[in-house]
Structure 1
């Protein structure tokens, strides 16, 4: 089946399913009430991202059936994604101990790294062999990405826009540079998230919820690690395109720990939260993320992959420097005032 037709079908399916999830959330009183970490002021149904999860997993299964996706990669995405989504779904409907949740995250990440065959052959900085430590870094990368995606899902549309713009950017790079591996599943993910975005932006009628935010972080992380199997430059392309979320979440966490806050304390001191309060609206901030991703990060990622630099890691630094400057300028990680 044409990936264009498939994407349209799953875009429509996800949008319809999200509407059904909103009806379910209202009926079951699954409401996100504003708290000290919230950037919204109105109680809003949550859990709509389940539509993205179900649609995408179904799409992966269909791609495996039609032999447009290798069984091994498809099964890894489906099983790991299902576990993380189920964990988030249960947490949305109740409360799961934070340590238990983190332990499951690590177990899933370890299973993914093993399933992908490990990364002991990976070298960085033009020949420096990481050996077994690369596997440890890969596990930490997956755990951090799925958690930071949850942290960054705080204003209307931002998590969806980040996923859509990142996947579209990488799909463009894959297509232009004839990197055929896994491009269909990248387009499919973008289509599914776009179907949800219609309900979440510019005014949120339903929130994504932990079931989907962690799922998206994990899936994007796996796609990046699959790219690492190709070459380090392609992996750096993913890291560059995910720069807004990676820089904001990482800088904020480090700054808060240095300021004496506990890692798990609720807060509203991410860069995007601070800017949204200054703007008095979520919309300009979400659109700003889209502009940065397409006009700054995408070109750098494309050049990095196309030229296959000896030191693609330096391109990541170049891409991140303005993002770090923005976080510093707006005092991310300080008090919520």
Structure 2
């Protein structure tokens, strides 16, 4: 089994690396580029829509290795639809309301037959109206997650690094749960991102674009859903706390300041750190270190210590909130990171 896993994972990683390299040339030829904008950290056009490589490899791998029990028709439609919606925005930017409406419809179609499985066993279902309410809630959560993750895809290799951490950890958890199909599924996603990250590592030769960030976010929802099914608790949230905290608190801060929070900006902590002089590769390395020493151990504690699950989950949000607040204070110091430039 181990040799089978290693072979498939290696094959996917190499394929991702080769196809991403080819995509750099093709996308450059057709001028599918991300031009520097108000919220951009790059200063020159870069090929984007690398997410199309994810789609091609993912669905090819799914065809070769049957994941029918995991990737139901709902999830297939959602994953492909959301990635193509992002790809459309990469090629020709769409209006915000068009993107949000498309995301919501796809999420609602996906959760329509899964919402009962996602609910806690002891949660009362009073009527069909209750199911409709839960469907609405799950769809809105999906929409929120997709966009929050997309907001954090603004620095070379940052979102891909977070994705690798997320899927690799879940693969280990599923192996311990004897859920081999889920483990292989997560390892395949990890391998896709590893192959892509070689080209996306600072200085990036290609961006994943909305097609990539939407697709990865959709897979995080799927993997998180099955993680909840296996463990009985949403431990996946712990691994996402650094991204969620920066997204949520920054947007809240903009709302309080009565700014147009939906507009592009460079007020996320990770953006300000780079503006101050932190190198993108340093940002990525710090993300890995933070997860290894903080959030992955807390995730493990959430899984294995039933009686302290909620406490550990709250602790992870507390730590990430403190880090966000501390860095915001430090960023006010004109000399912060001055020696790093």
Structures share fold, TM-score greater than 0.5: yes
Conservation of the 8 A alpha-carbon contact between 2:247 and 2:268: yes
1:230 aligned residue: 230
Which ranges in structure 1 are unaligned for 5 or more consecutive residues? none
**Within 1, Cα distance between the matches of 2:123 and 2:293?**
32
Structure 1 counterpart SS, 2:325: helix
2:7 aligned residue: 5
For residues 106-145 of structure 1, the C-alpha deviation after alignment (integer angstroms, 9 at most, x for no partner) is 111111212324357426xxx6658645433322221111
Tell me whether 194-203 or 286-295 shows the greater mean CA deviation: 286-295
**Within 1, Cα distance between the matches of 2:98 and 2:34?**
22
**Within 1, Cα distance between the matches of 2:256 and 2:117?**
32
**Within 2, Cα distance between the matches of 1:301 and 1:327?**
19
Q: CA deviation at 1:308?
A: 2.6
**Within 2, Cα distance between the matches of 1:129 and 1:239?**
24
1:316 aligned residue: 313
2:88 aligned residue: 90
Q: CA deviation at 1:81?
A: 0.9
1:295 aligned residue: 293
From the superposition, tell whether residues 115 and 139 of structure 1 become closer, same or farther in structure 2 (CA, over 3 Å).
same
From the superposition, tell whether residues 95 and 47 of structure 1 become closer, same or farther in structure 2 (CA, over 3 Å).
same
Tell me whether 193-202 or 109-118 shows the greater mean CA deviation: 109-118
From the superposition, tell whether residues 45 and 138 of structure 1 become closer, same or farther in structure 2 (CA, over 3 Å).
same
**Within 2, Cα distance between the matches of 1:308 and 1:75?**
33
Conservation of the 8 A alpha-carbon contact between 2:224 and 2:236: yes
Total equivalences in the alignment = 325
1:47 aligned residue: 49
**Within 1, Cα distance between the matches of 2:293 and 2:55?**
29
Q: What's the C-alpha RMSD, in Å, of the aligned pairs?
A: 2.4
**Within 2, Cα distance between the matches of 1:296 and 1:129?**
35
**Within 1, Cα distance between the matches of 2:226 and 2:112?**
12
For residues 278-310 of structure 1, the C-alpha deviation after alignment (integer angstroms, 9 at most, x for no partner) is 23411111111111122211111112112233x
Q: Normalising by structure 1, what TM-score?
A: 0.89
Structure 2 counterpart SS, 1:160: helix
Conservation of the 8 A alpha-carbon contact between 1:10 and 1:192: yes
Conservation of the 8 A alpha-carbon contact between 1:153 and 1:159: yes
